[in-house]
Structure 1
Amino acid sequence: MADMMRPIAPPNLPGLVKAAFDKARASGEVSYYPTQVAVLTPGSIPFQLRFSPALAQKPKAPKPKEPNAKPFNPFENPSPAMLIADLPPSHRLVLNKFAIIPEHFILVTRDFKPQTHVLEKSDIAATFACIEDYRTGGQELFAFFNSGPHSGASQPHRHLQLLPVERMKDGLDDVKNGGQWNVLAERLAESKEGLPFQVFTTSMHQNMSAEERHGAYLDLYRHAVNAVFPDGEVSSEGEAQISYNLAMTSASMALCPRTAEGMMIRNKSGEDIGVVSLNGTVLAGTALVKNEAEWDALRDNPDMLLDVFKGIGLSH
């Protein structure tokens, strides 16, 4: 009975997303920030680094005018220009207002639910409905979730983010090692060699039930909590006990416990030049910097990324 109520993504979701993105970008509802890109190989892992100086000027969300007023929630009542489609019974799809990857979109709960709570079966099912819709059309989606203060999460209203993998490859044809890059979460399902932080992974397959997919997520979550708190009890609902990132593709699921959002990097003279912050796209094998000093330093010494990785998660 439970699977009879499973979410079904609208037909031709890739086309709907592209049309909504193009229209919203043309009208100024969505801000698109072009990037320069390089593929680095710290510890032999092809890792995509993007540089967007304009993103440093991204406007901040308006602050409440009254001291006790609740903060602005962009997902509570999205404008028609940002809404892609409803995903009954409990979710909707909206565009990401500030995009560095074209056609970046977001799955949000219709009713407010906390970003810091353990995901429910409906959240996982709705995400995989979108992934399957893309896969049926011959495309791949990378989905990720940021939860907790060290994860890169920025909005308290529960949401998972979705990136078309082909659009994540924009610009890679023209850069060194570009052909070596693919989604890290899928590599990790085969081997974690060279990865300096702990990630828990499992394989997905098309015929899994909603209960099986949610059970796979809960298993990864329990392993991650036990890695942070070896002697603690793990609750499978309510407030999450750790900060973590979750990644999902049609073939894999990966969960990374987080201990910090980012790490300071230094130039050759030992001077601090900026904090490299990472969210769930770290499990895609991508990172973003907003100033030229960071961009230059990491390309000069890609292994500095290994130090960042060691600082944001649990060592093996």
Structure 2
Amino acid sequence: MAERPRTFFERGTLWSSLVERTAHALASGALVPIRTEVEVVEHEGVPFLVRVVSNLERKAKAVQPPSEGKPPKNPFIPPYEEDLFVSLVPPAHACLINKFNVFDHHALIITQAYEEQDSLLTAADFEALLTCMAEFDALAFYNGGRIAGASQPHKHLQLVPVPLAAGGLRTPMDEAIARGRLPFRHALGPPLQEPAQAHALYGELLRAVGCEKPGTPYNFLATRQWTLVVPRTQEAFESISLNALAFAGSLLVKNREQLERVRAVGPMTLLRAVTGPPGA
């Protein structure tokens, strides 16, 4: 059995640790990948990636119901599931592998002490995030509350390696962002550089879309090229749930019926619907 990392990772080792722990967790059965088929749906100049789930029942079977009268265990509170633990991350975070991953090497950056998922990000959160983003090229995102697509109430940022698909662009939305043509409510900014700048920029973007009050739902996304905040007014379009990844051009649907609905109305229509009308 591979030895569990127990301390902060050394500079330049996070990616190799993440790869090693992923292989180990797959072998042990601790990692439960959600298998998907990918379809490209072009809409308004963006080649959206729509992933159709083929094995959600595996996730349902892997989630054990709590004992009667007991609340479910928070998987983000120590002791962490050993096979999914990668490393501690300064100043007060830990890196875990996402147990139910759609993307390979999907990492979670969680607060070691409990904080609510709809609370605002702090300078400490950005210090941890930037430490990890310096280790490998990734799309970082934060689902600010249940309406923004969060399924776990313990504060956690997420990292998925880029590019998200073949073709060279980090995300399907990159060209639209470069053109400044995002037809849904948003605030766009430059890349994150260091914790103080990142935290200040985040605050500016939140204020630009009226999401500066704690508890207001929004999505936060960042790559090495741009930073994006999107206000949320609803969690789903019809029965199709959307989280931050949708605003990078990557959607997840439960079945082919939902895929055909996305194709019929156009993915950008979904993004406009869940962010509300301009000026809302």
The aligned length equals 269
Asked whether the 8 Å contact 2:45–2:176 carries over to 1, the reply is no
**Whole-Å separation in 1 of the counterparts to 2:237 and 2:108:** 27
Asked whether the 8 Å contact 1:53–1:292 carries over to 2, the reply is no
User: Which residue among 108, 111, 114 is the counterpart of 2:113?
Assistant: 111
Greater Rg by CA: 1
Q: Summarize deviations over 1:174-200 as a string: whole Å, max 9, x none.
A: xxxxx386425644542332x331111
Counterpart in the other structure of 1:230 = none
The reply on whether 1:253 has 2:253 as its aligned counterpart is no
Amino acid at match of 1:160: L
Distance 1:293 1:209, change over 3 A: closer
User: Which residue among 288, 298, 301 is the counterpart of 2:252?
Assistant: 288
Superposed displacement of residue 258, structure 1 = 0.5
Distance 1:180 1:131, change over 3 A: closer
The reply on whether 1:164 has 2:167 as its aligned counterpart is no
Q: Summarize deviations over 1:196-234 as a string: whole Å, max 9, x none.
A: 3111111126xx4321111001111111216xxxxxxx5
Q: TM-score, normalised by structure 1?
A: 0.78
Superposed displacement of residue 51, structure 1 = 1.0
Superposed displacement of residue 285, structure 1 = 0.9
Any stretches of 5+ residues in structure 2 without a counterpart?
A: 1-7
Amino acid at match of 1:116: D
Q: Which moved more, 1:72-81 or 1:54-63?
A: 54-63
User: Which residue among 84, 89, 92 is the counterpart of 1:90?
Assistant: 92
- Identical pairs, percent: 27
User: Which residue among 250, 269, 272 is the counterpart of 1:307?
Assistant: 269
**Whole-Å separation in 1 of the counterparts to 2:10 and 2:147:** 31
Amino acid at match of 1:313: T
Asked whether the 8 Å contact 2:126–2:198 carries over to 1, the reply is yes
Distance 1:85 1:25, change over 3 A: same
**Whole-Å separation in 2 of the counterparts to 1:199 and 1:224:** 7
Amino acid at match of 1:76: I
Deviation above 3 Å: which 4+ runs of structure 1?
7-10, 60-67, 179-182, 184-189, 296-299
The reply on whether 1:49 has 2:50 as its aligned counterpart is yes
Any stretches of 5+ residues in structure 1 without a counterpart?
A: 1-6, 135-139, 173-178, 227-233, 265-274
Amino acid at match of 1:89: P
Counterpart in the other structure of 1:221 = 206
Superposed displacement of residue 278, structure 1 = 0.8
User: 1:145-160 to 2 correspondence within 5 Å?
Assistant: 145-160=142-157
- Structure number with the bigger relative contact order (C-alpha 8 A, sep ≥ 6) is 1
Amino acid at match of 2:120: V
Asked whether the 8 Å contact 1:9–1:87 carries over to 2, the reply is no
**Whole-Å separation in 2 of the counterparts to 1:146 and 1:209:** 21
Counterpart in the other structure of 2:103 = 101
Superposed displacement of residue 88, structure 1 = 2.3
Counterpart in the other structure of 1:270 = none
**Whole-Å separation in 2 of the counterparts to 1:188 and 1:122:** 31
Distance 1:117 1:188, change over 3 A: farther
Asked whether the 8 Å contact 1:199–1:255 carries over to 2, the reply is yes
Superposed displacement of residue 149, structure 1 = 2.6
User: 1:169-248 to 2 correspondence within 5 Å?
Assistant: 169=165, 172=166, 179=167, 182-184=170-172, 186-187=174-175, 189-193=177-181, 195-204=182-191, 208-225=193-210, 234-235=212-213, 239-240=214-215, 242-248=216-222
**Whole-Å separation in 2 of the counterparts to 1:294 and 1:45:** 19
Q: TM-score, normalised by structure 2?
A: 0.87
Q: Summarize deviations over 1:241-278 as a string: whole Å, max 9, x none.
A: x10000011221100000111112xxxxxxxxxx1111
Asked whether the 8 Å contact 1:48–1:181 carries over to 2, the reply is no
Root-mean-square deviation (Å): 2.3
Q: Which moved more, 1:53-62 or 1:109-118?
A: 53-62
Amino acid at match of 1:43: E
